[in-house]
A and B are shown apart, each in its own frame.
Chain A
Amino acid sequence: MKSHRGPLLVLFALSAAGVFAQVAPASASSDSRPDTTVAVSPGSTLEIENFGGAISITTWDKNAIRIEVDRSVGEQVTIERAGSTIALKPRTRRWVPGVVNFQITAPRWIKLDLSGVNTSIDVENCEAEVHAETVNGDVTARGGQGPYSLSSVQGEVRVQGARGRVDASSVNEGVQLEEISGPIVAESVNGGIVIKRSRSESIEASTLSGPVRFEGDLAKSGSYRFTTHNGCIDVVMPEHADATVSLSTFSGGIDSSFPVTLKKLEAKRFRTVFGSGTAKLDLESFQGTIFLRRPNEAGSDCFSDEDAKELRKEMRKELHLKVHKDVKDLKDLKEKDKDRDKDDEEKDSGDEGDEEE
């Protein structure tokens, strides 16, 4: 959140001092209804910073922002304007951040900068830049041009039907993208990535612990890169695709439903060409299986793959051993500490005895 704001735009549920514009005073009512509408001019940015609760954005053709707040939580909201930016946030009381469910209707063209901590974010049909970031909650976007930049630490990120660029990342959950026609960058650490029915010319999807699944057409001159460390890669592509496919794995496998010819480029790296080979498809799994499948073919369930199961079992065993070792070290340390305390006590009591003597 920016540290300084300019003149206030709206005084709602008035603050006579003019320091804050306050919306949605505490109320016993649990309904959510229009609280206020704010006129905005093209080029404006809407910024919302929430601590807990939800942010839900829908769009309309009016040059105005309608702000609705779920009153059940009884929080107040400040509305501030700085230049072309309208900023909303729950009012902090006694250093305790507020919890608010925002229901916003905004112009399609407005830029969005949304952030939260324990907050879910939902955005629909935005035709301008959307930046949404939360720590604990899902982030969802549907339709619109974007471009979208969406991220969560402990939540899933889902986008459907976006026409522009999509950058989507989650740390501890998955990313799911459908019917995207712009460039895609998707990333996770401990989650899977699914990209379906997209017509993107550029996709980069990468995770460490989880599968990557792609199902869709490959553009003639498209560039696609799917990578994982501990998971499978499952690519469903048309029978007559024109793609040069590079497959890399250290200790995983390759399983193709297509009759392909694998050319070894170097150890653990192979290449095969489909049709004229114009699109570029790089598939890398350190220790999982890479599947190439036809559309409508029986699915490969990455996690029922016996090899993947075996690998995860080995990883678990490895981690168990490590934990046992660490715990043993801790126990040894504690024993040493006890012995030392005992020695100190004996020494102290000996000294006291000497003094008494």
Chain B
Amino acid sequence: MNDGWMNRLSEYLDDELSPAERAEAETHLADCPTCAEALEELRRVRARARSLADAPAPEGIWEGIEARIEAGRTVPFPSQGAAERRGPGRVERGRGRISLSLPQLIAACLAVALVSGGAVYALLQGRTAVKGTAPGATTSASAPVTGPSTASAPENRAVEPERSAQEEPSRELVRNDERGGAGAAVLASSPPTASSPDSTPQETAIADLRKALARGRDRLDPATVRTLESNLAIIELAIDQGKRALAADPSNTYVKEHLADTMRRKVELLQRATVLASTSPEVSR
């Protein structure tokens, strides 16, 4: 890992490098997953910070967070987002770094934590299909998942999909080892270029929508804001996983389409949230 580049990622992000340095940085990013991951994190933090107004952390938030850290727990689903509260904030600007005020940075980091917490919460709910299964459903929780219902069905056996290049009789249980991708290289091994799915006009649209949403979020009920943010986090996680999958298998058409579709969903959800924020009646809370 080149620590020199690690320290200059924000310059890269802010387009402050010379063309030659930029090219060099991109070459390095292509070979350094750690730097690529750090860059992605910076981009996320910056995007979130830009979508939030200067806002100090709410009083008492630190104590709560510290207590949870001490207790070895994660941040639970928040009762109120820090960004919803306004007040004077302390400003700190770093030279040659992302131009964020400290409150913005804190709010951004907090937002990341809260959003992640929201997603965790949503996942921990163990949501199953749809509440209230209608009459006539044939599914059964107690039924074996993969068991054939007829005695004549062929036996289950697992194979790698790649091995089934030839026509292969099944009932098959096809699995891949790349499951979850949690251990896979983070992001693509390539730097964010114009052809990268996350650096297209979609990203600009997403940033614009986030700004618009930030302007109108006070009109939304805090619970709705939390729901929207936790769902955005779910989408972002899916995008991250899609990117990792694409990095592992760049020519995979399915993954490309899936990633594009997930990006579209993100834009649509932001659009919807923005419309909601702009059309909701102002209610004094």
Contact = CB atoms under 8 A, between A and B. Distances in A.
Interface of A: 51, 92, 95-97, 117-118, 135-136, 153-154, 156, 160, 171-176, 178, 189-194, 196-197, 206, 208-211, 213, 215, 227, 229-230, 234, 236, 248-264, 266-270, 284, 286-287, 289, 291, 293-307, 310-312, 314-320, 322-324, 326-331, 333-334, 337
Given A269-B254, A323-B113, A156 B170 contact: no
A229 B117 contact: no
Contacts, number: 310
Given A194-B129, A262-B172, A251 B281 contact: no
B245 A333 contact: no
Contact of A174 (B130, B169, B254): B130
Of A96, A97, A230, A268, chain B has the most CB atoms within 10 Å of the CB of: A268
B129 A259 contact: no
B276 interface: yes
B205 interface: no
A344 B116 CA distance: 34
A333 B102 contact: yes
A57 to B, nearest CB: 21
A296 B140 CA distance: 11
B223 A267 contact: no
Given A286-B258, A295-B138, 17 more contacts: A96-B284, A118-B221, A171-B227, A174-B129, A178-B136, A192-B127, A248-B258, A250-B258, A255-B156, A259-B153, A259-B169, A287-B179, A303-B126, A303-B128, A326-B75, A328-B69, A333-B109
B179 A251 contact: yes
A176 B139 CA distance: 14
Contacts of B231: 171-172, 189-190
Contacts of B149: 257, 293-294, 296-298
A55 to B, nearest CB: 16
B254 A250 contact: yes
A228 B25 CA distance: 36
B29 to A, nearest CB: 20
A193 to B, nearest CB: 7
5 contacts: A251-B176, A255-B145, A310-B180, A323-B117, A326-B110
B137 A196 contact: yes
Given A261-B170, A267-B252, A298-B143, A196 B234 contact: no
Contact of A266 (B105, B167, B252, B284): B252
Nearest to A264: B165
B109 A330 contact: yes
B192 to A, nearest CB: 20
Main secondary structure of the interface of A (DSSP, over half): mixed
Contacts of A234: 139
Given A136-B223, A266-B252, A302 B129 contact: yes
Contacts of B122: 172, 190, 209
A213 B170 contact: no
Interface residues of B, number: 101
Contacts of B127: 190-192, 209-210
Given A189-B269, A192-B130, A250 B176 contact: yes
Contacts of A252: 175-176
Contacts of A328: 69
A329 B109 contact: yes
Contacts of B265: 189, 208
A236 B203 CA distance: 39
Contacts of A318: 180, 182, 237
Interface stretch (B11-19, B60-68, B208-216): B60-68
Q: 6 nearest interchain CB pairs?
A: A299-B139, A174-B130, A192-B129, A298-B143, A326-B113, A297-B149
B120 interface: yes
B171 A300 contact: no
A113 to B, nearest CB: 13
Interface string B241-285: 110010001011111001001100100010010001000111110
B276 A176 contact: no
B154 A259 contact: yes
Given A189-B235, A323-B74, A172 B227 contact: yes
A243 B131 CA distance: 30
